[in-house]
Amino acid sequence: MINELLPPKRILMGPGPSDVHPHVLKAMSTPLVGHLDPAFLTIMDETMELLRQVYQTKNKATMAMSGTGSAGMETVFANLLEPGDQALIGVNGLFGQRMADVAERCGAKVIQVQAPWGEIIQPQQIKEVLSQHKQIKLVAIVHAETSTGVCQPLREISSIAHDHGALFVCDMVTSLGGCPTEIDSIGVDAAYSGTQKCLSAPPGLSPVTFGSRALEAMDKRNTKVQSWYLDLSMIQAYWSEASERFYHHTAPITMIYSLREALRLIADEGIDHVHARHALYGGALQAGLEAMGLKLLVEPAHRLPQLTCVYIPEGVDDLAVRQRLLHKYSLEIGGGLGVFKGKVWRIGLMGYNARQENVTYLLAALEDVLREENGRIQEGAALAAAGQWLKKEAACR
């Protein structure tokens, strides 16, 4: 006999998935309708409208791909690149590396512009490469690099790319719903995201948005998009606002319910308020960690509020701490990736979790576990520092 499914109740404060909002879970237990039911088509229209609001764009081609964030990555590169095209990719972490890999698999000639993990890509680096290679079709960069906690400034790189006639593409998997994405204002031509980071829905959908320049580039293709499943021209016929919609593949109905509810909650709170809430509690968490005597990876000007990388203190066992947090507090944080494996922890404060109680819980639990694991830390200072930070912020508002 196998018992009824009863997973443990965790608090997910790693790099994603993050905790799902209870209203989203509730929406997911509502009845299924057919994927061409008029009621469902209305739900899709509403989802698209909400997605535009949260992405901060008027792009008509804004929809959810079936699959996780990486499916969105594949969608963008498979639709915009043809074999032989040149693409410039900024690589300062794991997800930049993945973009380069995906673009190469599309047959593109990839030129990487690198920065050390934990630092931003400098606009000047992009400018130099673009002036040496006149044929570059697309410049891609990760907005919120979840492997390091770096927030990449986009505006200057966007105008440099456009000055050279290239498309500007962004990975917004961890930024959407956590910090401003400003697609139209910055001039991002195509972007993709995921549902399980700051949107507080489960993994399974990848919201994408394509602007007019990107759609033009797709119209000018000489070859078919290699992937049938991710060919945007066909997906668009299903997600369009036209009365006649064509079956492409069966939409994951329940996941679209979850996305609609997650976006509705964000729109209801107000997108600016949601961003400010992340900045507020992310800052409080970081102040608390530093007061504990821990060192943060990223310099203050480029820190993401929703994902913080903190160095593991000398002599402390990475896995022992994370296991103890999980067993004693049912609290999940992430380990380091790539060059930072075993060197940092990654702490997420995403979406629904960007709240006072999560800040307090994490700081208290981590302090307790570090004490048990003989980490040399400043005891009893973290919560006061987080409180001080919030008080100071409140006074500025």
Ligand X SMILES: *Cc1c(COP(=O)(O)O)cnc(C)c1O
By CB under 6 A, name the binding residues for ligand X: 16, 68-70, 95, 142, 144, 146, 171, 173-174, 194, 203
Nearer of residues 99 and 292 to ligand X, judged by Cβ: 99
- In the complex, what is the shortest distance from the CB of residue 99 to ligand X, in angstroms, rounded to a whole number? 8
Residue 331, beta-bridge partner list: 11
Nearer of residues 203 and 387 to ligand X, judged by Cβ: 203
**SS3 assignment, position 250:** coil
Residue 387 burial (10 A CB sphere; 0-12, 13-18, 19+): middle
Nearer of residues 144 and 259 to ligand X, judged by Cβ: 144
**SS3 assignment, position 273:** helix
The Cα–Cα gap between 110 and 89 comes to 7
- In the complex, what is the shortest distance from the CB of residue 73 to ligand X, in angstroms, rounded to a whole number? 6
- In the complex, what is the shortest distance from the CB of residue 173 to ligand X, in angstroms, rounded to a whole number? 4
Evaluate whether 277 touches 393 at the Cβ level (below 8 Å): no
Q: Do strands 190-192 and 205-210 pair parallel, antiparallel, or not at all (unpaired)? A: antiparallel
Output the six-digit token pair for 140.
């891609």
Listed in order, strand segments (DSSP E) in the chain are 11-12, 61-66, 86-91, 109-114, 136-142, 144-145, 150-151, 167-171, 190-192, 205-210, 307-311, 331-332, 334-335, 344-348
The Cα–Cα gap between 221 and 223 comes to 6
- In the complex, what is the shortest distance from the CB of residue 147 to ligand X, in angstroms, rounded to a whole number? 8
- In the complex, what is the shortest distance from the CB of residue 206 to ligand X, in angstroms, rounded to a whole number? 7
Evaluate whether 371 touches 377 at the Cβ level (below 8 Å): yes
Evaluate whether 235 touches 248 at the Cβ level (below 8 Å): yes
Output the six-digit token pair for 243.
């009365």
- In the complex, what is the shortest distance from the CB of residue 184 to ligand X, in angstroms, rounded to a whole number? 21
- In the complex, what is the shortest distance from the CB of residue 20 to ligand X, in angstroms, rounded to a whole number? 14
Nearer of residues 70 and 86 to ligand X, judged by Cβ: 70
Strands across the sheet containing 61-66: 61-66, 205-210, 190-192, 167-171, 136-142, 86-91, 109-114
- In the complex, what is the shortest distance from the CB of residue 98 to ligand X, in angstroms, rounded to a whole number? 7
Buried b (16+ CB within 10 A) or exposed e, 351-362: bbbbeeebbbbb
Nearer of residues 202 and 375 to ligand X, judged by Cβ: 202
Backbone angles phi, psi at 102, to 5 degrees: -65, -45
**SS3 assignment, position 170:** strand
- In the complex, what is the shortest distance from the CB of residue 107 to ligand X, in angstroms, rounded to a whole number? 21
The Cα–Cα gap between 97 and 84 comes to 19
Nearer of residues 150 and 325 to ligand X, judged by Cβ: 150
Nearer of residues 102 and 292 to ligand X, judged by Cβ: 102
- In the complex, what is the shortest distance from the CB of residue 359 to ligand X, in angstroms, rounded to a whole number? 21
Q: Which residue is nearest to ligand X (CB)?
A: 69
- In the complex, what is the shortest distance from the CB of residue 174 to ligand X, in angstroms, rounded to a whole number? 4
Nearer of residues 16 and 335 to ligand X, judged by Cβ: 16
Residue 256: Cβ within 10 Å count = 23
Nearer of residues 205 and 214 to ligand X, judged by Cβ: 205
Nearer of residues 97 and 236 to ligand X, judged by Cβ: 97
Nearer of residues 147 and 382 to ligand X, judged by Cβ: 147
Residue 190 burial (10 A CB sphere; 0-12, 13-18, 19+): buried
